[in-house]
Amino acid sequence: MRFFSRKNIVTLEKFGEKMVVRKEFSKKSNMFREIEVLRYLEASAMASHVPRLIFAEEENKVIYLEYIRGSLLSELSPREFIEKLSMAVEWLRKLHSLGLAKGDCNPRNFILHENKMYGLDFEESRPLLLGNQEALRDLIDLMSTSILTMASKGDDPCEAAMSIVRLIPSSYGSLFVSEDEFLKLIEEFLQRRKKYRPESEALFNSVIGHLRRLRKSE
């Protein structure tokens, strides 16, 4: 079984008596970064919220990870998505408190298993050297891609945006910026991102248009 990945080859395979996730990286530097971050998190309070690193074949740019049976956040129904997104935001707050930025922070990189949220994919993680700036970037990434996810499921983009943005204070804390500025940053993020997703240009344009109207109406 092969999992979706734009950069790497990720498959489900048998390893001894267990099923594991095999991840073959396109770049060795990304593999080393993911190994380093996973080992750091496994020794932290977040050890039970990330997949366990089982084995690495560094010469082949391959790692083997614990297989977590569950549902990706992006696969949940619209109602469940909003309910569980707060858990992903809380997970992100804990990661930031350990001095790390997530990078590639989107609903496909969170998995729900037995009502517990796990984070996946750490090859773009970085130390929080710039503090709030990098933490804010993670939040914008997650909120932007979450609004796109909700819109793709048929939800009104304006309602999705406000529902998603307004759950942050209770799950994360301060937005670092005003709500209007945060919506503007989401719009700018989507404008930059859409050139890499030509197959979804219509969805991006629809969400961006709704966000502009939402900001003007406030």
* Res 53: pLDDT: 97
Q: Rounded to an integer, what distance in angstroms lies between the CA atom of residue 113 and that of residue 69?
A: 6
Ordered by start, the domain boundaries in the chain are: 2-66, 71-217
Q: Domain 71-217 is classified in which CATH homologous superfamily?
A: Transferase(Phosphotransferase) domain 1 (1.10.510.10)
pLDDT in tens, 8-33: 999 999 988 899 999 999 999 999 99
Residue 175 has pLDDT above 80, yes or no: no
Domain range 2-66, CATH class: alpha beta
Asked if 2-66 and 71-217 have one fold, the answer is no
Fill in the DSSP letter of residue 131.
Answer: T
* Cα 99 to the center of its chain, rounded Å: 17
- At 53, the amino acid letter reads L
* Res 218: pLDDT: 65
The answer to whether 102 and 119 are in contact (CB under 8 A) is: yes
What SS3 class is residue 45?
coil
pLDDT in tens, 77-100: 988 998 999 999 999 999 999 999
* Res 109: pLDDT: 97
Greater model confidence, 168 or 217: 168
Tell me which residue of 194, 44, 23 sits closest to 122, measured CA to CA: 23
* Res 17: pLDDT: 86
Average pLDDT over every residue of 144-170: 89
Residue with tokens 């009104």: 156
